[in-house]
A and B are shown apart, each in its own frame.
Chain A
Amino acid sequence: MSVGTADAYIVLEHEQIRGLAPDHATLRTADELALSDRWGSHGWSVVELPAGGRLLWAEFPESRRAPTHTVISWPDLRAACSCAATRFPCRHIIALLLRDANDDLPHERQPEWACPALPTDDDDRPADDPAAEARRRAALVAGMADLQRWLGDLAHRGLADLPRRGRAPWLAAANRLDDTYAVEAARELRALATIPGSSAGWPERILPRLGRLALLCAAFGRLDALPPGERGDALAAAGWSPWPADDHVRDRWLVTGRRLDTENRQVRSRTWLYGTGSGRWASLSETHAAGRLAGYCLPVGATFSCELVFYPSARPLMAGLVEPPHLCAPLDSVDIAASTIDGGIAAYAAALAANPWLRAYPFALREVFIEPPGPNSPDRWQIRDRGGRLLPLPQSFAHGWRLLSLAADRPLTLFGEWDGAVFTPLSVDDGGWRAMAGWRGLA
């Protein structure tokens, strides 16, 4: 890949950089830090990196601790920071990018500590050892067969006394699944453990999900007979870390949204990309221990050119990076094929028919209006399109008033995730895509 030196000097908009913030506290402190004078040595320099270009670095003095070191390389926007924040990117990374966008960094030779460039994309996956791979897979299949028996017992005895039996059996089963690499199935079991007896109608809520798990177990019963796509979906739904297939796509990818969940000291992030040439959606998932502050900054609204590989699936969405992303100049006009609510639901239905274990589907909706809780839905915000179709937003959606204020009587273009019941907005097109994660929430 030719390294366009000009690409190293593309400027991100302020709002794009601020949209990187995983939450409002990070954004607020980053804004303060960018303006403050408590910076140690900082600057940018030209370096030879695989992706070429520039290195931004800064040192922040800390009281009674070693200073915090922050490094960002351009144009792949790989960042690393030594601070103690749990969510990536931290305030230091955002503040450094903000200073760079303000042209507020001197051009200097980088200090010693910034020299051994950034840790390259460390591959967590064990080296290709067919024997180990086969062992792991056998364990996974055995674990799912165990789950099938466990579910069978449940159905045999009946669900009626579940509230009385407590959560312990669920958690024990989940732990057994964890041991057999079925982490996603284990997560689902832990989520299910909270349902029995939680409210009226809990049997109606739990049975479909138990049924889906049973379907997954059944699929594992004849894993080898499945076509590769379906097999990939079943394995991914159980928690097998996906492996690359030969579905490589090189494109200019527009970052449309990022979702971050923290559970059990683990941070899971999902970044949604739209291929401006191919028209395909891709999601980059990352799971890492809280506090590991290194990775690619993919600001919502920015465009990257790179090659992605899609993991095998009947409806490929999950993908991985083949090479470092390369920030490129913003495209003049990007049509991300935003649809009406009906169009989105139809696409979701098709995807669900192909991959029954689909969790989140990207929705880009145009011409929608946001409505505050009212007589129709006393406790939820909703969006509505011109056809009168309504989608519920999450119960604790905190950005409704801000969206309403931005829109007034104009329709909005929103991007978010649809999980079959609730639409979770992640970004809004307000003269460019803007992430909502860093917004100050208002209940």
Chain B
Amino acid sequence: MGDLVTAALVGTARAGLPDAARLPPALAGIHAELAGRPPEEALLLLAGIAALHDAVGRLPERVAGIEWRLPAFRPEGDRPPCSVAAARYLERMLNQLDTAYLPELLISLDRAGQRAPDYLLPHLLHHGEKMARIRPMLLPILGERGRWLAAINPAWRYAAVATGDANSLRHAWEADPSGRAALAITVRRRAPDAARRLIETTWRSEPEAARRELLAVLESGLSMGDEPFLERALDDRDAQVRRRAAEMLASIPDSRLVDRIKSAAGSILVLGDGGLMPVFPGEINAAMMRDGVTRQEEIGRATAPRSAAEWSRLLIQTVGVIPLGHWETRFGLGPEALVAAALAGKWPRTLLTAFATAAGRQANGGWIDALLTGDHYSERTGMLIPKLAPEDCRARLAQRLAAADDAAVLVFLRRWVGEWDEASAAAIIDYFGRHAASEKETRLGPMLRFQTRQFARQCPPALAGDAAETLIGRAHGRVWENSLANLVSTLALRRDIKEAVEQ
């Protein structure tokens, strides 16, 4: 072929036809036959015949050895694939339809001990590659087959990490900076200390945004073991990281930070005239600032707070950290009495917020109860609602519903994060229905409608049918109609997904 190409490039006008002796022997006869034709015609025909000669005789490449060079696939003990219907939902969500429900579907598939079907695994892995956030939920759904596949594609290594093996972990940590937070979340669930140690390996070289993200990983499973690391983070370059670390230390009862604040501000409250009064210290020193107590930005100079807002922030940042038992012993009063005293004092709203912050951090049941009832379930103490035990929360909600306390119900709706049980959810659906049916729009109407969206995600899907029965056609006015229709269709979709998984 080489001589033919040379001749063709130069042109037969100058090069003529190559010699027969330089062609493959099989073509020599044809060369002789074509000799009578004009050279340009003969050259192309020879090229065509040589190409055909090659094509007919060409065999594809063969590699030595028949061994499969991909990693061995071990399907033993793999989870069963999910039902066809569940797979269809999964496929839709990976195709950006109803993607908002993907985490819920992934979690319920995991609970059911199922994995994604074979044909969806590449798309699932691809989704995880693009969205690091979803990885912790996605990993269990991949099964052995998915992990095997992930080990082959360098972009999917995140799914092939052996979280129990320190070497594999360290390697994955080094290889994929953007996936570190997701990996840390996964590890934190199994071994909280291992996750912290991983974070510490690269902590100093991480950019600010990554440090904030990694610090947030430690919020779940926080323990005294994290205290030294967090204590060091109080001196971080980034203000957000410093503040976050201080908040996290405030939630560890035995931390040095809590001790320090207690000794610095343990006498900030006094009891007088039946009410609690703050006694503000003269100035906020650098040590307190390091512990998360902020003051007006006047760099390098210790100053006292000046405005009421600053005093109020100081109260929250100190009383919110100090163990509540400290006040009980100091004043010899129980939680109810102290809450009453705070309400009777000079700074009732601020003090209540500060106590609520402390009660939330310390998960102090007695105080939570005293604050919620003492403040009549206002938004101020609403942050304590997720700390309630589910049964307790239900009982309190039922009581508020019975009392037609709209503002308190709204706080419950807004603040509760878990799933509602069927009885409470049914009561809430009925409550929405009653509000929607009333001709007069109340002040809370817009906020209630807004809460229907969140409620649709927290209501047990089994109630979809009841909700449709209770709510369809009941609304008075277009806005409520839309909200309720949205609620009903979301519930129906969630029910269908749940049934598909349980099939």
A→B interface (CB under 8 Å): 28, 31-32, 148, 151-160, 203-204, 207-215, 218, 341-342, 345, 349, 352-353, 356, 369, 371-372, 374, 376, 384, 386-392, 401-402, 404-406, 408-409, 420, 440, 442
A-B contact pairs, 30 of them (CB 8 A): A155-B39, A157-B11, A158-B12, A158-B14, A159-B8, A207-B5, A207-B51, A211-B45, A211-B47, A211-B51, A212-B52, A214-B41, A215-B48, A341-B60, A349-B56, A352-B55, A369-B68, A371-B69, A372-B70, A372-B152, A372-B153, A374-B69, A386-B66, A387-B66, A401-B153, A404-B122, A406-B118, A408-B118, A442-B123, A442-B126
Q: Quick one: which of B10, B51, B126 contacts A212, CB cutoff 8 A? A: B51
Q: Does B418 contact A (CB under 8 A)?
A: no
B→A interface (CB under 8 Å): 1, 4-5, 8-15, 38-41, 43-52, 54-66, 68-70, 72-73, 75, 88, 92, 95, 97, 118-119, 121-123, 125-126, 145-146, 148-149, 152-153
The distance in angstroms between the C-alpha atoms of A286 and B24, with both chains bound, is 40
Q: Judging by beta carbons under 8 Å apart, are A408 and B73 in contact?
A: yes
Q: Judging by beta carbons under 8 Å apart, are B73 and A409 in contact?
A: yes
Q: Judging by beta carbons under 8 Å apart, are B47 and A208 in contact?
A: yes
B353 to chain A, nearest CB (A): 49
Q: Quick one: which of A153, A203, A372, A406 contacts B8, CB cutoff 8 A? A: A203
* Nearest A residue (CB) for B55: A420
Q: Judging by beta carbons under 8 Å apart, are B56 and A405 in contact?
A: no
Q: Judging by beta carbons under 8 Å apart, are B57 and A349 in contact?
A: yes
The distance in angstroms between the C-alpha atoms of A341 and B59, with both chains bound, is 10
B28 to chain A, nearest CB (A): 17
Query: Contacts A210-B47, A212-B52, A353-B56: A442 and B122 contacting too (C-beta < 8 A)?
Result: yes
In the complex, chain B residues whose CB is within 8 Å of the CB of A352: 52, 55-56
Majority secondary structure of chain B interface residues (helix, strand, loop or mixed): helix
Query: Contacts A155-B44, A203-B9, A204-B1: A388 and B64 contacting too (C-beta < 8 A)?
Result: yes
Q: Quick one: which of B14, B41, B69 contacts A148, CB cutoff 8 A? A: B41
The distance in angstroms between the C-alpha atoms of A194 and B297, with both chains bound, is 68
Q: Judging by beta carbons under 8 Å apart, are B95 and A160 in contact?
A: no
Q: Quick one: which of B13, B58, B64, B126 contacts A156, CB cutoff 8 A? A: B13
Q: Quick one: which of B39, B52, B75, B121 contacts A405, CB cutoff 8 A? A: B121
- 4 further A-B contacts with Cβ under 8 Å, apart from A156-B11, A345-B59, A371-B70, are A151-B40, A208-B54, A218-B45, A402-B122
Report the 7 A-B pairs with minimum CB-CB distance, sorted nearest first: A158-B11, A211-B48, A208-B51, A211-B47, A214-B44, A401-B122, A155-B40
In the complex, chain B residues whose CB is within 8 Å of the CB of A341: 60
The distance in angstroms between the C-alpha atoms of A390 and B59, with both chains bound, is 10
The distance in angstroms between the C-alpha atoms of A239 and B40, with both chains bound, is 25
B15 to chain A, nearest CB (A): 8
In the complex, chain A residues whose CB is within 8 Å of the CB of B149: 401, 404-405
In the complex, chain B residues whose CB is within 8 Å of the CB of A207: 1, 4-5, 8, 47, 51
In the complex, chain A residues whose CB is within 8 Å of the CB of B64: 388
In the complex, chain A residues whose CB is within 8 Å of the CB of B61: 389-390
In the complex, chain B residues whose CB is within 8 Å of the CB of A440: 95, 123
Q: Judging by beta carbons under 8 Å apart, are B56 and A152 in contact?
A: no
A413 to chain B, nearest CB (A): 16
A414 to chain B, nearest CB (A): 15
In the complex, chain A residues whose CB is within 8 Å of the CB of B73: 408-409
Q: Judging by beta carbons under 8 Å apart, are B63 and A402 in contact?
A: no
The distance in angstroms between the C-alpha atoms of A285 and B126, with both chains bound, is 36
The distance in angstroms between the C-alpha atoms of A376 and B122, with both chains bound, is 22
In the complex, chain B residues whose CB is within 8 Å of the CB of A208: 1, 47-48, 50-51, 54
The distance in angstroms between the C-alpha atoms of A352 and B39, with both chains bound, is 26
The distance in angstroms between the C-alpha atoms of A214 and B62, with both chains bound, is 33
Q: Judging by beta carbons under 8 Å apart, are A405 and B122 in contact?
A: yes
In the complex, chain A residues whose CB is within 8 Å of the CB of B148: 408
In the complex, chain B residues whose CB is within 8 Å of the CB of A155: 8, 11-12, 39-41, 43-44
In the complex, chain A residues whose CB is within 8 Å of the CB of B97: 32
B158 to chain A, nearest CB (A): 15
* Nearest A residue (CB) for B38: A152
